[in-house]
Amino acid sequence: MTGNVQLLSDTLASAKAEGRSALIAYLPAGFPTVDGAIDAIRAVFDGGADVVEVGLPHSDPVLDGPVIQTADDIALRGGVRIADVMRTVREAHRATGKPVLVMTYWNPIDRYGVERFTAELADAGGAGCILPDLPVQESDLWREHAEKHGLATIFVVAPSSKDERLARITAVGSGFVYAASLMGVTGTRESVGTQAQDLVERTRATGHGLPVCVGLGVSDAAQAAEVAGFADGVIVGSAFVKRMLDAPDHAAGVKAVRELAGELAKGVRRQV
């Protein structure tokens, strides 16, 4: 592996060597402003996040809940552009030396140009992309350019994913696999937790060795500890965004996300 995909893999391996899950945080670029998002991402790293996903705001984020949709709307009304996303990645990585990913739907990349997007992301120090709506069977062009620039290609799987699809994704993906489920929406937390654990086990059973990180609607340290019991990484997004939305001012929001990262960092170490 080359480029910052190696940094991502090393970070996940380091967490595993410590006997814990990695903490992966999500915040959208441009929310509440471009500079404000950079401040918040630095604060989340300061609080204990191992990896940060920078969201590329989209006008139709079909897989995101209302909290992230609200933040995306604020960012888009503020005029955020892909150049701002790249700047956010660059400044967050440069300030911390930690892995920074972009999470984006496929359409903005397709319109921007795959070669241009991957080259600029690599130049900014990005570790790769999470692509929730890119089918693995249509990913050859993206993966060709991502591999050329040393970027991870992270696919999203769900409890409905068939074993054949899981095997194909773990064969060609890199960095980690994003295992998605919904806590408190598709059933009780206990049943969804079991579903997520089963998905992690099925993904690992493909035998390709990619870490499996779970985004499960985790919002506190106890839930992080629960997911850390079976996943290589715990992904938290809406809880961070909600702290920013609920804060009376930007400084309070930055303080709130730093504190939440600290609480969740204890959770992934199961110190709760």
Type and span of the H or E element at 64: none
Per-residue pLDDT, 247: 97
Question: What's the whole-model pTM score?
Answer: 0.94
Structure tokens at 25: 């945080």
Instruction: Give me the pLDDT at residue 2, please.
Output: 59
Residue 223: half-sphere exposure toward Cβ, Cα within 13 Å: 21
CA-to-CA dists, residue 65 to 7, 17, 142, 143, 237, angstroms? 30, 33, 26, 28, 10
- pLDDT for the residue numbered 252: 98
Alpha helices, DSSP H only, in the chain?
4-17, 34-47, 66-77, 82-96, 106-112, 114-123, 140-148, 163-172, 189-204, 221-228, 238-246, 250-268
**Collapsing DSSP states into helix, strand and coil, what is residue 262?**
helix
**Residue 90 near residue 120, CB atoms below 8 Å:** no
Report phi then psi at 186, rounded to 5.
Answer: -90, 5
Which segments in the chain show pLDDT lower than 50?
A: 183-191
Provide the pLDDT for residue 62.
65
pLDDT confidence of residue 188: 34
Q: What is the token pair recorded at 31? A: 């929310």
Task: State the pLDDT at residue 59.
Answer: 81
How many Å apart are CA 88 and CA 240, to the nearest integer?
17
Q: Which fold has domain 4-269?
A: TIM Barrel (3.20.20)
Instruction: Single out the residue of 195, 213, 99 nearest to residue 154, CA to CA.
Output: 213
pLDDT tens for residues 226-265?
A: 999 999 999 999 999 999 999 999 999 999 999 999 999 9
Residues with a catalytic annotation lie at 53, 64
| pLDDT of the residue at 271 | 74
pLDDT of res. 191: 45
Q: How many CA atoms lie within 13 A of 199 on its CB side?
A: 28
How is the chain split into domains, by residue range?
4-269
Residue that has been written with the tokens 């609480």 in this structure? 263
